Amino acid sequence: MEWISHSRILIVGLGLIGGSYARGLKRLGFHVSAIEKRQSAVDYALENHIIDDGYTTVEPEIVSSADAVIFALYPEVFRQWIAEYQQLFKPGAMITDVTGVKSCIVYDIQNMLRDDVEFIASHPMAGREVYGVENSDDAIFRGANFIVVPTEKNTAEGIRWIGSLGRILGFGRISVLSPEEHDEMIGYLSQLTHCIAVALMTCSDNEHLVDYTGDSFRDLTRIANINDLMWSELFMLNRESLLKYMDIFLDEFAALRDMIRDGRVDELREKMRLSTKRRAYFNK
């Protein structure tokens, strides 16, 4: 499927990311339908012209008329949806997702999927600490990273197609990782950081700290405002990579603690210089 403007797109799950995809794709001239169980989200999206049409149940004719289907669901719900409704897909339809974990679902879904449709996984690195279509905004994609996660089952055409989706939505850098590489990366860059923010936030119950804080604590705890249902599921589905990085971090942090406790200032400064040097990679 080429990205031509008479393509019909179906978005399943109209939260922050699904809603932001809808906004961006509708702005580009695509016909955008949505299936979302929350009636108020569908109403909001229709009233604000984020979608062309929306449904709270799986309408067969809407699924079977879509050239492309984007799933923005929690991982387990996504898997169940495919198992239950995949017979409705139009032959030749392209399917992608936005799921934050990959190896635990991509192979399963590709293995159960019909041969005449293609599922190519992707992950827009554009989460926010707010939720729902009411907070959606396709500006969050501008300059952000977009990860394409193909397997051996994917076609060159499918990989080109998903790269185009990332480009037309305004993402900055589009990279390709295997499901295993993706999950390892996400265990460190995203899941570990969320664990750290939660642990930092729960160290003190002093309600007055807001009167004294600078920006660094605010920055480190922005994501401590966390959707417990979504993130606990993501953590459990990527437990191995996450635990690996939690243990690496525990070792690094405990080493730093020991340097401070023992007054080993030279080693402490060496560690800070290493940190500064590595952070510079992220200034690009």
- Least distance (Å) from its own copies to the CB of residue 169? 15
Q: What is the DSSP letter of 142?
A: T
Name the residue nearer to its own copies (CB basis): 39 or 275: 275
Number of residues that bind its own copies (CB under 8 A): 87
Using CB under 8 A as the binding rule, whether residue 85 contacts its own copies is answered as: no
- Least distance (Å) from its own copies to the CB of residue 131? 11
- Least distance (Å) from its own copies to the CB of residue 68? 24
Using CB under 8 A as the binding rule, whether residue 41 contacts its own copies is answered as: no
Taking a C-beta distance cutoff of 8 angstroms, is the pair 185, 244 a contact? no
Take residue 175 and report the two structure tokens written for it. 């990279």
Mark residues 139-178: x for contact with its own copies by CB under 8 A, - for none.
-----xx-x-------------------------x-x-x-
Name the residue nearer to its own copies (CB basis): 6 or 208: 208
Which residues lie below 8 Å from residue 35, measured CB to CB, with a gap of 6+?
A: 10, 11, 12, 13, 54, 55, 56, 57, 58, 59, 62, 63
According to DSSP, the β-strands at 31-35 and 94-97 are unpaired
Mark residues 193-222: x for contact with its own copies by CB under 8 A, - for none.
xxxxxxxxxxxxx-x-xxxxxxxxxxxxxx
Using CB under 8 A as the binding rule, whether residue 130 contacts its own copies is answered as: no
What is the largest distance, in Å, between two alpha-carbon atoms of the chain? 70
The helix (H) or strand (E) run that includes residue 34 is strand 31-35
Using CB under 8 A as the binding rule, whether residue 102 contacts its own copies is answered as: no
Which of 61, 111, 121, 112 has the alpha carbon at shortest distance from 90? Answer: 61
Using CB under 8 A as the binding rule, whether residue 247 contacts its own copies is answered as: yes
Name the residue nearer to its own copies (CB basis): 35 or 147: 147
Name the residue nearer to its own copies (CB basis): 155 or 213: 213
Q: Residue 186: phi, psi to the nearest 5?
A: -70, -30
CA distances from 56 to 34, 43, 90, 100, 267 (A): 9, 10, 20, 24, 59
Name the residue nearer to its own copies (CB basis): 80 or 225: 225
Judged by CB under 8 A, the stretch of 5-13, 75-83, 152-160, 262-270 that binds its own copies is 262-270
CA distance 94 to 9: 10
Name the residue nearer to its own copies (CB basis): 18 or 54: 18
Using CB under 8 A as the binding rule, whether residue 180 contacts its own copies is answered as: no
